[in-house]
Amino acid sequence: CVAELHVTYKSGKTRVVMATGDESGWQVAKGHLRESSLFSGEYIDLKSKSEFEGWDTTSGYFDATQGVAHSADVLLTGDHSWIKPKLYESDTDLPTWRYSLEMRANARRKNIKGPLLAKHKLSPIGKLIPHEIPPIMPLRRHVPDEVYGMGNGRWMYDFGVGFSGMVRFEEGLPNPIVPEVYPRGHTVSTLNPDEEFITVVYGESIEPLTGDINIAVVAGMGLHDGGPRHKAKPVGNAEAKGGPCYPKDHIEAGSLLQRDVYILPRSSSVVQSDSRRGSFADARQSHFTTHAFRFVEICCTAEPPSGVVGLSYRTAFDEWGAFGSSNVRVNGGYELVKNALNSNLLSVQSDCPHREKIQYGGDIVADSPAALHFYDMSAFYRKVVRDWRDQQWSNGAYAGTSHWLALNDYAGIGTGSGETVWASAPIVTTARHYQWYGDKMLLEESFEDHLKWFTFL
């Protein structure tokens, strides 16, 4: 977390009330999210959530936080004491960090002497700039078209349309039951023995033979490809054993999952007299992870949870494009494109809202005319161009993704460049931005960087 509190008065004068530093007065405490992954989902501790209620109010602060501690050890326990934050430290600076990335991307010749590389992977703090695009907001509520049981306490919810967002439990969740055997994707093996849980698995399609959610294509591709030929790595590699990018709880399913897990100590779900014990009825939704789905499996409860709705999220820019015709198929195609864009415009224009969530240049080159028709993309595409300019190597090359992720570089012309059409996304976007909005400022600020790309080519 990077935090600094500014107060702006009516006169226009701004005062920094709480700056960053050792004596700033900032405090941190352990919250109720045990895990939060961009791809797979969240582990939500409902007991901690209940214990922390009121932390942001003057009346409930001390009840929720139990005072202020001074040791970071409390973060390793269930204690919610507040402690002083530890300042972020790195053994490198921005020029050195950039140099090390260019060496990895082969964007700089290895015989050119440069600074010593960083000893570890903690990147330096960059320059903080205002967030100029609109926030990500829930834009539509979806009611399930169908709810049916799958046996052993597992329930399927079909929302009738695919979208990017979250499931919200307006009435919470019922208490869980323990089946004889957990279905594929619903096994959780990393919790304490005295903890109960309910799993929520998301997917776009169902297996035609089993009726289960097709989980093989929902998050991070499941299998990490082996390079240009896209050969799956053999079983026994790091992915099969668990690791930072492949949680152990997902090994049993054989694929990365889009899944949220709601957790509560077994005694808490039975004893309800103390509101701070927490309850499955307190469950509502994930906090930071959006999923791409039409279908949702919930396991395992004796009765299907009621009050379940889907919330589709998108960057909240204004919508202004419209189209209609007498042909229902043409109209359906128009809505299909619009729904796909809605699901892939969450702060970046991604290629897909579940498997990769990456800002590829090829998708922007192909789809930006449609996005410009549908929405006010003026601030959004300014950010896209600035993302690529921030990534640009010193030799002038643009990558195929922003930021550089060492993906598909083999399809480019080498020395750090991505596939040429994809890597031309910032230039194409700048031109289209000017055609739509007449914004000369973006042209002026990006011209020199774009010229470096042409010179590189």
300 preceded by a cis bond (ω within 30 of 0): yes
Confirm if 364 and 372 have CB atoms less than 8 A apart: no
Name every residue whose Cβ is closer than 8 Å to that of residue 197 and which is 6 or more positions away in sequence: 176, 188, 191, 261, 262, 263, 264
Q: How confident is the model at residue 139 (pLDDT cuts 50, 70, 90)?
A: very high
pLDDT in tens, 83-113: 777 777 777 788 888 888 888 888 887 655 6
**Tokens read off for 222:** 């499941």
CA dist 259 and 45 (Å) reads 15
Asked whether the predicted pLDDT for residue 244 surpasses 80, the reply is no
Q: Determine the Cα angle at 209 with ends 203 and 214, to 5°.
A: 15
Asked whether the predicted pLDDT for residue 227 surpasses 50, the reply is no
CB atoms within 10 A of CB 171: 12
Name every residue whose Cβ is closer than 8 Å to that of residue 236 and which is 6 or more positions away in sequence: none
Confirm if 17 and 234 have CB atoms less than 8 A apart: no
Is the alpha carbon torsion for 292, 294, 298, 304 positive or negative? positive
Q: How confident is the model at residue 229 (pLDDT cuts 50, 70, 90)?
A: very low
The mean per-residue pLDDT over the stretch 405-424 comes to 84
Confirm if 3 and 125 have CB atoms less than 8 A apart: no
pTM of the model: 0.86
Mean pLDDT of the chain: 83
CA dist 187 and 25 (Å) reads 42
The mean per-residue pLDDT over the stretch 125-150 comes to 90
Pick the more confident residue, 122 or 190.
190
Q: How confident is the model at residue 126 (pLDDT cuts 50, 70, 90)?
A: confident
The mean per-residue pLDDT over the stretch 403-407 comes to 81
Residue type, 395: N
Q: How confident is the model at residue 218 (pLDDT cuts 50, 70, 90)?
A: low
The mean per-residue pLDDT over the stretch 155-177 comes to 96
**Tokens read off for 449:** 């960087």
Distances (CA, A) of 360 to 11, 224, 388, 399, 424: 44, 18, 11, 9, 11
Is the alpha carbon torsion for 206, 212, 218, 223 positive or negative? negative
- What share of the chain in percent tops pLDDT 70? 81
pLDDT of 301: 96
pLDDT of 79: 59
Pick the more confident residue, 310 or 417.
310
pLDDT in tens, 313-331: 999 999 999 999 999 999 9
CA dist 225 and 294 (Å) reads 26
pLDDT in tens, 273-299: 455 577 999 999 999 999 999 999 999
Q: How confident is the model at residue 249 (pLDDT cuts 50, 70, 90)?
A: confident
Asked whether the predicted pLDDT for residue 59 surpasses 50, the reply is yes
